[in-house]
Chains A and B, each alone.
Chain A
Amino acid sequence: MILFACRCLKLSCQGKTNWHAVLEQIFQVGVKSLGMTVTAGLFVGAIMALQIDVQLKDFGAEAFLGGLSTSTTLRNVGPVLIAFLLSGKVGAYTSAELGTMEVTEQLNAIRLLGADPVEYIILPRAWAVVISSFLLLIVGLMVTILGGVVFSQFIGVNPLSYIQNIPRIVTGWSLGLSIIKSFIFGLLIAIVSCYKGYKAHGGAVGVGVAVQSCAVTNLILIIFVDFFLSMLSSLLQDVLQVGYF
């Protein structure tokens, strides 16, 4: 899988990406997932606002609700949950499409014509998945903030004070972390789903197996990378002595 990723990277470094095809794929993959991402983001934001409100009441610190729930959602829960959904939608779509092409020997036909299927078929899809997952995650995270604000109305918190609380706790560091996480999750979904689709074999059943193993691998890698990045940011803060600004 790593070799496959290196090969894609090498080809795109040589400037062999067909950006027109990438745009087409972004429309195919990204725009159709927008509604789902927005719905999921709204509910994730609302769930976290509700849950953290209930917990903060136990500790008597409701004043921090806006900042805490937004910060937890942005840094951790939001990217993971939305990336779960995207790996189900975008990843499964890509691996099913590529798997079907491989199984019906369309990729072999391209090889026969003297073209490289990785360059011609897979590279545009991979970049499209990276870009559209990244943008969808950012949109989803923005919508989680909105979901929290809207929901705070229903649990008797003043939305204005909720919003004013956000910049007190959500720092540039947190925002940067969530953007880095979104980008790496996009990269992961793209590599895993393209690889699993490319390696599919054995008829229609093989496509099903490829889709399922793509989804499971994606989820495990997302959780692992999320853990790794959180740990790295925590260690980095200790090393740089930036404190908890």
Chain B
Amino acid sequence: MNLNYRFRIRETLEQMYLLGVQSVPIVFISLGFVGIMMVLELAFHMRLVLKHDALVPAFSAVLMVRELGPVITCLLLTSRIGAGIAAEIGSMKVTEQLDAMKMLSIDPIDYLVIPRLLGSVFAALTLTVISIAVALWGGAFLAVQRLGSSSGEYFNTVFFFVKFPDVIRCLIKAVVFGSLIPLIASFHGFRCGLGSAAVGEAATQSVVRTSLVIIIADFILTYLFYAI
């Protein structure tokens, strides 16, 4: 990025819409089910270990906020937008649009990567918040329906055990994962070879690498936050 960088507000807003707003339905559906599933599974384990299930909401909400919320949201985002970004930039390279941009003295990194980076960070942040809210609702639904606790009881326990630093750390994770997605994807797009087969190859590669890097980054961040 050069120093006299001009903030491209229109491209950024467009990418925020494309990457963020259009991913809301899939995140909404998936994370609702994940929330229900976590309460179900943890109820099984809690009854097994502690012989009662009063702590299920707390345990599931903490696991959701600290770990699964950001990770599953960003893995969904990876296959939703990562492949798209890699394929888009790759086909621009194959059809020599990138060279045309350089001829017009537009830096492709300024013009293509930065708006996607900002849009994806915005998408990851907001979608993580949405996903955790939806997952908690799903969990509350199951807890009321099958475990026989009241919803007030559920949310009371959740708010007692999920601390404010947890939320901040969750958002930091979301920002890190959200910035990893377009960086790795556009890297693969720029390095894409010639021919249309190479574009598909770049898209596939970028999804796989991004998912792997997100899991590894999650491990490192969790270790830094909680084990030291």
Nearest chain A residue, comparing its CB with the CB of B84: A212
Q: List 11 A-B contacts (CB under 8 A).
A: A50-B227, A51-B63, A51-B66, A59-B55, A87-B79, A204-B196, A212-B79, A216-B76, A219-B26, A231-B36, A231-B37
Size range of the chain B interface in the assembly:
35 or more
Stretch from B4-12, B112-120, B197-205 contacting the other chain = B197-205
Give every chain B residue within 8 A of A215 (Cβ-Cβ).
Answer: 79-80, 83, 207
Known: A100-B197, A208-B87, A244-B44. A220 touches B30 (CB 8 A): yes
Within 8 A of A (CB), among B36-51: 36-38, 40-45, 47-50
A244 to B48, CA, bound (A): 6
Residue picked from B30, B44, B222, B226, most chain A C-beta under 10 Å? B44
Asked if B34 lies at the interface with its beta carbon under 8 angstroms from chain A, I say yes
Interface of A, helix, strand, loop or mixed by DSSP? helix
Contact with A along B193-222 (1 / 0, CB 8 A): 000110111011001100110011011001
* Chain B hits for A12, CB < 8 A: none
Q: Does B62 contact A (CB under 8 A)?
A: yes
Given known A-B contacts A58-B161, A220-B30, A211 and B41 have beta carbons under 8 A apart? no
- Return chain B residues, CB-CB under 8 Å to A71: 45
Q: Determine how close the nearest CB of chain B comes to the CB of A220; give it in whole angstroms.
A: 6
B223, closest chain A residue (CB): A50
B29: chain A residues within 8 A (beta carbon): 220
Contact B215 A47 (CB under 8 A): yes
Q: How far is the CB of B39 from chain A (nearest CB, A)?
A: 10
List which A58-92 residues lie within 8 A (CB) of chain B: 58-59, 61, 64, 67-68, 71-72, 75-77, 80-81, 84-85, 87-89, 92
Task: List CB contacts (< 8 Å) of B122-177 with chain A.
Answer: 146, 161
Indicate the member of B40, B49, B67 with the most A CB atoms within 10 Å.
B49
A101 to chain B, nearest CB (A): 11
| Complex: chain A residue closest to B161, CB-CB | A58
Q: Is B215 a contact partner of A44 (Cβ separation < 8 A)?
A: yes
A-B pairs under 8 A by CB, number? 162
Q: How many residues belonging to A are interface residues under a CB distance threshold of 8 Å?
A: 59
Task: Answer whether residue A14 sits at the interface, using C-beta atoms and an 8 A cutoff.
Answer: no
Do the beta carbons of A85 and B212 come within 8 Å of each other? yes
Within 8 A of A (CB), among B53-100: 55, 59, 62-63, 66-68, 71-72, 75-76, 78-80, 83-84, 87, 91
CB distance from A34 to the nearest CB of B (A): 13
The answer to whether B79 and A43 have CB atoms under 8 Å apart is: no
| Smallest CB gap from A92: residue in B | B204
Cβ of B226: which chain A residues have Cβ within 8 Å of it? 50-51, 54
Question: Are A230 and B40 in contact, with the CB atoms below 8 A?
Answer: yes
Q: Which residues of A contact B55 (CB under 8 A)?
A: 59
Task: Specify which of B37, B49, B199 is in contact with A230 (CB 8 Å cutoff).
Answer: B37
- Residues in chain A near residue B215, CB distance under 8 A: 40, 43-44, 47, 81, 85
